[in-house]
Amino acid sequence: MNNEDKPKQLGRLTLETVKSLGKGAQPYINHDFDADIQSNDRIDAMKTKVLEMPDLNMLDLSYDQIKALTDEELVKLLSGESHEGFIREPTIQLISNELLMRQIKEASKPHWTIIPTFYAVLFFGFLTIVIGILSLLKQL
């Protein structure tokens, strides 16, 4: 394999390189290459730069912690009023699902007037049957 068949080590893409490519010029001719890329020393080539992530103040709640919060607190978390920072996607989904389950549970409860009405209908039905039986006995 001769030198023309080998891939060229291009280095960093700079604004000058982009401009020269736009004008139809040969890329990377007479340009300075990145010293780290041109290095033949394997130790230099394997060095990596470690970047520290900024503190994003991520909120990550467990399911038990979410269940312990009130509806108002959960809505404030979703709207961003009670937490300065980011909320992880799974946590957002758990909060939304918990609010939805609470709403479904609340909507499926019978209204407080249902039970007294049932007993009233039962009482008046029984009273009607008794009066009907008494009126039949009176006619005999």
Contact of 65 with 73, CB cutoff 8 Å? no
- pLDDT higher than threshold 90 for residue 14: no
- pLDDT higher than threshold 50 for residue 36: no
| Mean pLDDT, residues 39-68 | 72
User: What is the average pLDDT value for the chain, to the nearest integer?
Assistant: 77
- pLDDT higher than threshold 60 for residue 97: yes
Q: Which residues contact 63 (CB under 8 A, 6 or more apart)?
A: 94
User: What CA–CA distance (Å, rounded) separates 39 from 84?
Assistant: 45
Give this prediction's pTM: 0.47
Tens digits of residue pLDDT in 65-86: 999 999 999 999 988 888 888 8
Given this model, what pLDDT does residue 102 score?
A: 95
